[in-house]
Structure 1
Amino acid sequence: MKNFTLFIFLLISSVIVSADESLPLHICTVASRPKPGLQQLLLSAEKFGLKVEVLGMGLPYKKNGQKLSYMKMYLENIPDTDLVLFVDAYDVIFLANENVIKDKFYSFNSPFVISAETNCFPFQELASAYPESPTLFKYLNSGTYMGYAGYIKFLLNEFIIEEDKSDQGQLTKLFLRREHEITLDYYSELFMTLHGIRGNQIKLEKDPKLVHCLLTGSTPSIIHGNGLGKKLYQHIFNTLFGKQ
């Protein structure tokens, strides 16, 4: 009952404060080593006046499930009504400032928005359990997500985190239990994943720095070169920010 009450409170709060530009936005990632991809992430963040807190630097890294544990600890000191944005460390680029990111998040009218991708990973057998999507971006991708701190806390308390397992797999199962509460970014409005996407399905604009997703007509604020999208991610970074 306590969890249910918290959920209702936060869901109502998401509507009440849905246009509050004064809400703090906390951005974090998890990285154990300073790879080039992390430098590119931080450079793109700096270009748009964003500060990213890096969790886990220099510490042993098990598997991707550990990212959920870091997030759970990170949220302990953040007020429930603050906004929190998580991004993967080594293959993500920012293309918008804080106000644009907030406005896009608010437009979903949801307490939690997570990116969608074209591939059902790691549980291919769960593909048929997903709801229909209006675009090719149908399946949950855990590399970028945003929500109210209290609601993310609530979600992460819904299951026992397995650090040696896929974070995406664990969040996939959570989504399929709560698909009417968790929002997938089907149109790549806020987040765009690149696995399975070809170069002719996007259009780049250098000034201002924009990626136009020709599949959905959107200009996403955060680009993620997941899976086989690493080469396209690097091409986008090199074109918009210059080779480092």
Structure 2
Amino acid sequence: MRRGLALYCLGQLAAAAGGALHLVTTADRFESRILPMQLSAFYWGHNLRVLGMSSHPEYDPGNGDLWGRKLGWKLLSVLRFAKGVPDEDVILFVDAFDVLLLDPPAAFLEKFARIAHRTGARLVAAAEQNPGFRASDHPNQTHRWRYLNSGAMIGTSAAWRKLMRDPPPAMLPERYVGDQDWIIDVYLNTSALGGLMRLDAECELFQVTCRVSPVLSHGSCPPSHDAVVVEGRGVKNVVTGTHPSLLHLPGPGHWPIPLPLLGSTGRFQSCHYYEVARVLLPEVILPLESARAWSGKPYSMICTDDSLVNRVVLDTLLWASIRAGPLGALLFCLWVLRARLCKSRAPTIGVHPHAV
């Protein structure tokens, strides 16, 4: 209670000095994977705007997979939003499918104002420890988190517009794997927008990792991701001593965990993203497991991107096959095999290239 009151007061001071906070993400369609992020935002009192659900001729990504070089569309969606927001309003952008918010809007405003006052920065990007595009060009930092990660960024509307003063094309050039590479290029080529942009290398606001201990994690997560632990209803970085307000769990942080690893959970499939949300936000996550619409298996759809309709149809067919006897069971098995074959041939849509 005392911490919440302090954050509220600090947030009011930050808001008085700057503008309102706008939480935004991008997605071209609804996917089950967005639910933990949406629910974490709702739990902490954020108003989430999902950009890209409706088509706009200027920012139409075209047909096919919305990932890789086509993620210029994502940047253009954020730019279009920033153009309609007052200069001093603060825009918090987060990836849609592997992020959890851990604090109310007041905490984000207060931390951002503190960083801005200390450094002069007006746009702050998450930092990660895994090297990527132009890794050797990134400046050294006090801690291991030195590489730009675009999965979480916060800044004034004016700073966002300056980042994209020369807007990216909807289809990015071939040298880029995705939108993150384009942002890295601007960051490095402009000396961090002349000092207006910086990385959250101390993990005050954002934490990028694939492991939050002691929560069940994927075996592909490197042992070096050992700094983040659950502490109360949030997390702590034991290296920096900070309590980040947002978790970004890319790569193994949201990959499905193979069956043999799940003996202790009682669930046949899950992922670290869901398990962390389950630990930190039980009030909004656990009810999903008893909701009939989810057939008691929200983790399956969230972690594998199975459609809700597919899951309901699957359960209905299973019930019908049991009532129909051996022939029904055979037909059910054939239907499942055909559905899985079709799914394996379908393209993956909306996946961040740096999270594959």
Using structure 2 for the length normalisation, give the TM-score: 0.58
Structure 1, unaligned runs of 5 or more: 1-17
Q: Deviations over 1:43-82 (max 9, x none)?
A: 1011111011001126566332221010011112111111
Distance in 1 between the 2:80 and 2:27 partners?
15
| Rounded Cα–Cα distance in structure 2 between residues aligned with 1:188 and 1:20 | 19
How far apart are 1:159 and its partner, in Å?
4.8
The structure in which a higher percent of residues are strand is: 1
Q: Deviations over 1:114-144 (max 9, x none)?
A: 00011222x2xx2111110111111000111
Q: How many residues align?
A: 222
Between structure 1 and structure 2, the one with the greater Rg is: 2
Question: Among the aligned pairs, what percent are the same residue?
Answer: 29
Matched, 1:222 2:246: yes
Q: Which has the higher contact order (CA 8 A, sep 6+)?
A: 1
Query: What are the residue-to-residue correspondences of 1:1-244 with 2, within 5 Å?
Result: 19-22=13-16, 23-57=19-53, 62-63=66-67, 64-109=71-116, 110-121=121-132, 123=133, 126-164=134-172, 165=176, 166-177=178-189, 178-179=191-192, 180-195=195-210, 200-206=226-232, 209-230=233-254, 231-242=271-282, 243=286, 244=288
- Preserved contact between residue 68 and residue 161 of structure 1 (Cα < 8 Å): no
Q: Deviations over 1:79-138 (max 9, x none)?
A: 1111111000011101001111111111111210000011222x2xx2111110111111
Instruction: Compute the RMSD of aligned alpha carbons.
Output: 2.2
2:86 aligned counterpart, secondary structure? coil
Indicate conservation of the 8 Å contact 1:129/1:176, yes or no: yes
Helix, strand or coil at the partner of 2:241:
coil
Tell me the amino acid that sits aligned with residue 66 of structure 1: W
Consecutive unaligned residues in structure 2, runs of 5 or more: 1-11, 56-60, 211-220, 255-270, 289-356
Secondary structure class of the residue paired with 2:14: coil
Of residues 79-88 and 234-243 in structure 1, the stretch that sits farther from structure 2 once superposed is 234-243
Paired with 1:175 and 1:19, the residues of 2 have a C-alpha distance of 29
Counterpart Cα distance in 1 of 2:141 and 2:207? 15
Relative to the length of structure 1, the TM-score reads 0.83
Give the AA of the match of 1:91: D
